[in-house]
């Protein structure tokens, strides 16, 4: 049986990649969008449309087809490598293969309900995006000031951070290039995107935040943290397919969270008599 193990591992890897693609399509098509202003609503629609276009593109199909000729690494006999050294794709392939053999030996492969449950159990355990860092109110510099001048100063500071988002290419553009070329080096363009999210988070944490809008500030920061984590997962597409594909759905969810966060901040500040305005073109790049 050892002779056929690498081949079965390759097939299993292809199967889970197909499952991940279907899951990503389902997420993109069914994710609920928050009630937002007209401009942000348009961005929400654009973000999901762009993600769907990437997944349905010929470039993605060609890239996916390449899995048929991809060999999954098998640890050498007697290797002391721990499971922690495996990529998520390797781990899923191993776990899926192990469960498959257990069902085969038990004569349960013809029981569709049991097969489906076993498959779902492995997917639930192994096919997940990296959890982002979650910030709490204790991470903010809370201010007790609630006068109009303080709120407007805070609003301007936050808007300035949002407008500081400047990257040559966003996630969707980088993914399109990668799927077209199947060149992992193209994913290096995600590094400045990730660095930008980190910088923006640090800048927002440094702003003295009025207590009355602290929850909304935290919401924006955690949305940026989710975008950073998703972009980090996307970087792995060239070497860890399962992690990278999970990053696609994670990115869509993070964009939705960011749109909601900005909308909530706008509502909170305007409700307190302050304005919250920034260059719309920045969002056109960040959130699509």
Q: Tens digits of per-residue pLDDT, 40-69?
A: 455 445 545 545 554 455 545 555 555 444
Q: Specify the higher pLDDT residue, 211 or 77.
A: 211
Indicate the SS3 state at residue 141.
strand
Is the pLDDT confidence value at 165 over 60? Answer: yes
Q: For residue 72, is it within any domain?
A: no
Q: Identify the domain containing residue 153 by its residue range.
A: 34-64+128-286
The candidate with the shortest Cα–Cα distance to 35, out of 190, 264, 212, is 264
The pLDDT value given to residue 53? 53
pLDDT digits (tens, 9 = 90+) for 231-261: 999 999 988 988 998 999 899 999 999 999 9
Percent of the chain with pLDDT over 90: 43
The candidate with the shortest Cα–Cα distance to 43, out of 192, 200, 258, is 258
The candidate with the shortest Cα–Cα distance to 230, out of 91, 70, 47, is 47
Q: For residue 145, is it within any domain?
A: yes
Q: For residue 264, is it within any domain?
A: yes
CB neighbour class for 248 (10 Å; exposed up to 12, middle 13-18, buried from 19): buried
- Give the chain's domain count: 1
Q: Which of 30-44, 224-238, 265-279 has the lowest mean pLDDT?
A: 30-44
Q: For residue 16, is it within any domain?
A: no
The pLDDT value given to residue 36? 39
Q: For residue 113, is it within any domain?
A: no
Report d(CA 232, CA 254) in Å as an integer: 13
Q: For residue 232, is it within any domain?
A: yes
24: Cβ contacts below 8 Å, ≥ 6 apart? 51, 55, 245, 248, 249
Q: For residue 120, is it within any domain?
A: no
Tokens representing 104 are 């085969």
User: Please, how many CA atoms are within 13 Å of residue 21, restricted to the half-sphere of its CB?
Assistant: 19
């Amino acid at each position: 049986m050892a002779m056929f193990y690498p081949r079965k591992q390759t097939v299993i890897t292809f199967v889970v990649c197909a499952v991940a693609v279907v899951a990503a399509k389902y997420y993109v098509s069914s994710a609920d969008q928050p009630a937002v202003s007209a401009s942000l609503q348009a961005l929400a629609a654009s973000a999901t449309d762009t993600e769907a276009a990437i997944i349905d593109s010929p470039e993605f199909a060609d890239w996916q087809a390449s899995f048929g000729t991809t060999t999954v690494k098998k640890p050498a006999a007697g290797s002391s490598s721990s499971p922690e050294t495996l990529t998520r794709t390797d781990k899923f392939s191993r776990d899926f293969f192990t469960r498959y053999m257990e069902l085969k030996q038990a004569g349960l492969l013809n029981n569709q309900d049991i097969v489906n449950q076993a498959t779902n159990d492995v997917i639930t355990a192994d096919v997940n995006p990296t959890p982002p860092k979650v910030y709490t109110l204790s991470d903010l510099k809370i201010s007790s000031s609630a006068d109009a001048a303080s709120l407007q100063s805070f609003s301007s500071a936050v808007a300035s951070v949002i407008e500081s988002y400047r990257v040559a290419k966003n996630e969707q553009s980088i993914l399109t290039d990668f799927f077209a070329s199947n060149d992992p080096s193209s994913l290096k363009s995600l590094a400045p995107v990730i660095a930008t999210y980190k910088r923006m988070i640090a800048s927002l944490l440094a702003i003295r935040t009025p207590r009355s809008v602290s929850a909304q500030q935290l919401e924006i920061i955690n949305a940026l943290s989710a975008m950073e984590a998703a972009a980090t997962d996307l970087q792995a597409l060239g070497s860890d397919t399962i992690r990278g594909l999970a990053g696609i759905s994670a990115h869509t969810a993070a964009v939705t969270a960011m749109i909601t966060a900005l909308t909530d901040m706008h509502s909170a500040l305007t409700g307190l008599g302050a304005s919250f305005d920034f260059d719309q073109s920045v969002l056109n790049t960040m959130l699509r």
